[in-house]
Amino acid sequence: MRHITLQVSVRDVVFGENVTIIEPVNIYGCKIGKNSFVGPFTEIQKDVVIGEKCKIQSHAFICELVTIGNNCFIGHGVIFVNDLFSTGGPAMRDKDLLKPTIIGNNVSIGSNATILPVAICDNVVIGAASVVTKNITKPGIYAGNPAKFLRSIEGTNTYTTNALNGEISETSESGINN
């Protein structure tokens, strides 16, 4: 019986200066900004971009098409999802079925959160074990399944940059766009 053995590795990665990686990890075909940290047992797939001064804790899974801004914290066991099973099952490597996720700057995502294909604006905290199912357009603290706005963070304004197209707009009270 024939089998294929693949080993964990770090390959085809563009690193900024002073990036720390704690092995074992499986990181390939991505970009990681300067002064960032990646903990052990983490997978970062191709076409992922991680900004500067980010901390990716152990056991995180960052799938294709995720962009993470600067000064972000990704807690232990955070899972990013890019396949919504739109055809009733997995995309089976059909990249046309995958959806992107955009995380703004100064975003902290608590341990074991699940992030579906969404855009999250700057200055957001996602509580541990939360499930983010819709775009977040208002800075603040969100938690739950599905994640809901809990409160503002002192010192942030009600205007935000749309992570997908750079537009600046006033946000709704809930901070979640359908």
pLDDT on residue 159: 47
Pairing of strands 159-161, 168-170: antiparallel
pLDDT on residue 23: 95
Residue in this structure with the two tokens 């995180």, named with its chain if needed? 60
pLDDT on residue 162: 47
* Cross-strand pairs, 177: 135
Q: What is the 3-state secondary structure (H, E, C) of 113-129?
A: CEECCCEECCCEEECCC
pLDDT on residue 135: 98
Pairing of strands 79-80, 73-74: unpaired
pLDDT on residue 174: 55
Selected from 3.90.1660.10, 3.40.50.880, 2.160.10.10, 2.40.50.100, the CATH number assigned to the domain covering 10-177 reads 2.160.10.10
pTM greater than 0.85 (yes/no): yes
pLDDT on residue 163: 47
Q: With b meaning 16 or more CB within 10 Å and e meaning fewer, what string describes 16-33?
A: eeebebeeebbbbebebb
Mean pLDDT by 10 residues, the chain (178 residues): 83 98 97 98 98 98 98 98 94 92 98 98 98 97 98 69 45 52
pLDDT on residue 160: 46
pLDDT on residue 157: 55
pLDDT on residue 169: 45
pLDDT on residue 1: 76
Domain ranges of the chain: 10-177
